Amino acid sequence: MLPGLASSVASSKAKEKSEKAAASSKAASEAAAASASSKAESESEAAASSSSKAESESIASAKASSKAESKSESRAKAVAGAEKSAALSTAEDYANDMHMSKQAVYEQLVSDAGEGFTAEAAQYAVDHLTDVNWNDNALQTAKDYQDEMPMSQSELLDQLTSSAGEQFTQSQAQYALNHLYD
């Protein structure tokens, strides 16, 4: 063979080999990429499945927690209801038997030296004293004062309305004074 032709054939074969190698390398790269993509998809699906499972567990846990809170709230409401009922019963005794003012009943209910009810239970109780005539309570209290230690109308008015005294409203105390000798 001629030296130029041999060189050309060798060059052509080398070029062919190079192209085959490049094609083979490209195919291997594509296969590796496809494999990596498939692996990534599998991992993504596994993560999604794991996430879904975690989400389901989280929902179940939240439901259980909510159910427990619901039971706890029910117990708390029952206790609060019982306390309100007891406060109302005690308030009725103070208002009907001792002829106390609404404010004095409330303070007696919440006082640590008194009954020690919560402010909420005491407020409920005084708000639900439906059969109490506060004017009559003021009148009865005024009569009791007059029987035990006679006072002037001014002194009696002060005693009935004072925050350190009976704590009736001004109009309730005035009603008592207006009807004291009826």
CATH number of the domain bearing residue 79: 1.10.10.10
C-beta of residue 117 within 8 angstroms of C-beta of residue 125 = yes
Whether residue 63 is predicted with pLDDT greater than 90 in this model: the reply is no
Residue 182 counted as domain residue: no
Which pLDDT does position 81 carry in this prediction?
Answer: 84
Please count the structural domains in the chain.
1
Residue 173 counted as domain residue: no
Q: What's the CA gap between 168 and 55, in Å, rounded?
A: 61
Whether residue 93 is predicted with pLDDT greater than 60 in this model: the reply is yes
Q: Kindly indicate the confidence band of residue 66, based on its pLDDT and cuts at 50, 70 and 90.
A: low
Q: Kindly indicate the confidence band of residue 129, based on its pLDDT and cuts at 50, 70 and 90.
A: very high
Q: Read off the pTM.
A: 0.59
